[in-house]
């Protein structure tokens, strides 16, 4: 990406609203396993680390606990991103290895996400599968891997529900390092791919609690639909997002 395009993308991301966005949705987490000392029933059949869902952000900026149940996620290995965005015209968004904090990221086995048991509700189970199938293949902005391979998204971070005929989706993701300066871009890619393919879904996105230094601020930005849409009007940012979310040939 030339310096002018990079500046345009950085400016668009920086200008995303700091005001509160949508509140977390009243959806139920899907039968996830928790540690025994927490006292929850578990049905997923895999071992995960215990954590709480991210707090919700009210319109006045105050933070409260999420209505979602305590769930667990597999803690993926971390890889440090660089500070530059990739060329939106490049088929493989990979900067020079000299710009990467970690030029050899540790990858996780995606099969762990396919081993989760189905949900009790077949319709919700199909919705969760559809959502995860959409986001698992999104390309990382720095490395020639998917965000699933880097452990940024994981299937038990996808929570689904219904409010009448309206489908509700809550997605949690984990930036590879707490200071990841591309977390907003990754979240915008997740949001864009879902809304493009399932336009009527009620959607909330959040960073795994404790996974980023400015997670509350990023959560607000990503859930402000108007500001996210306005940011995507920038041609350089739009091209970058579209390149990262396009389905790659196997």
pLDDT of amino acid 106: 79
Tens digits of residue pLDDT in 115-168: 999 999 999 999 999 999 999 999 999 899 999 999 999 999 999 999 988 899
> Looking at residue 126, what is its pLDDT?
96
Domain residues of the chain, as ranges?
A: 3-93+107-245
Confidence of residue 78 (pLDDT cuts 50, 70, 90): very low
Per-residue pLDDT at 248:
78
Contact residues for 190 (Cβ-Cβ < 8 A; gap 6+): 135, 138, 153, 171, 173, 205
Condensed to tens digits (0 to 9), the pLDDT of residues 13-54 reads 766 644 444 444 445 444 333 333 433 333 333 344 334 444
Q: Which residue has the higher pLDDT, 130 or 80?
A: 130
DSSP 53-69: PPPEE-TTS-EE--SSP
Per-residue pLDDT band for 5 (boundaries 50, 70, 90) equals low
Question: What pLDDT shows up at residue 47?
Answer: 40
- CA-to-CA separations, 48 to 100, 147, 150, 157, 216, in angstroms, rounded: 29, 19, 17, 12, 24
Q: What is the tens place of the pLDDT at every residue in 184-197?
A: 999 999 999 999 99
CATH architecture of 3-93+107-245: 2-Layer Sandwich (3.30)
Per-residue confidence band for 100, with pLDDT thresholds at 50, 70 and 90: low
- The enclosing H or E element of 220 equals helix 215-222
């Amino acid at each position: 990406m030339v310096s002018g395009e990079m500046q345009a993308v950085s400016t668009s991301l920086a200008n995303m609203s700091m005001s509160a966005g949508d509140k977390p949705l009243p959806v139920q987490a899907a039968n996830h396993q928790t540690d025994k000392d927490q006292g929850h029933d578990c049905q997923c059949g895999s071992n995960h680390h215990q954590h709480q869902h991210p707090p919700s952000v009210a319109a006045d900026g105050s933070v409260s606990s999420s209505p979602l149940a305590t769930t667990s996620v597999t803690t993926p290995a971390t890889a440090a991103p660089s500070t530059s965005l990739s060329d939106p015209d490049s088929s493989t968004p990979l900067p020079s290895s000299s710009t990467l904090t970690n030029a050899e990221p540790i990858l996780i086995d995606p099969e762990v996400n396919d081993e989760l048991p189905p949900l009790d509700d077949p319709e919700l189970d199909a919705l969760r599968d559809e959502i995860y199938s959409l986001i698992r293949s999104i390309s990382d902005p720095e490395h020639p891997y998917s965000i699933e391979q880097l452990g940024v998204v994981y299937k038990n971070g996808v929570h689904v529900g219904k409010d009448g005929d309206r489908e509700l989706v809550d997605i949690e993701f984990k930036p590879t390092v707490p200071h990841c300066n591309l977390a907003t871009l990754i979240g915008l890619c997740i949001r864009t791919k879902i809304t493009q393919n399932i336009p009527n879904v009620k959607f909330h996105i959040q960073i795994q609690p404790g996974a980023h230094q400015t997670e509350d601020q990023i959560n607000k930005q990503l859930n402000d639909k108007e500001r996210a849409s306005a940011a995507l009007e920038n041609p350089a940012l739009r091209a970058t997002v579209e390149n990262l979310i396009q389905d790659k040939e196997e």
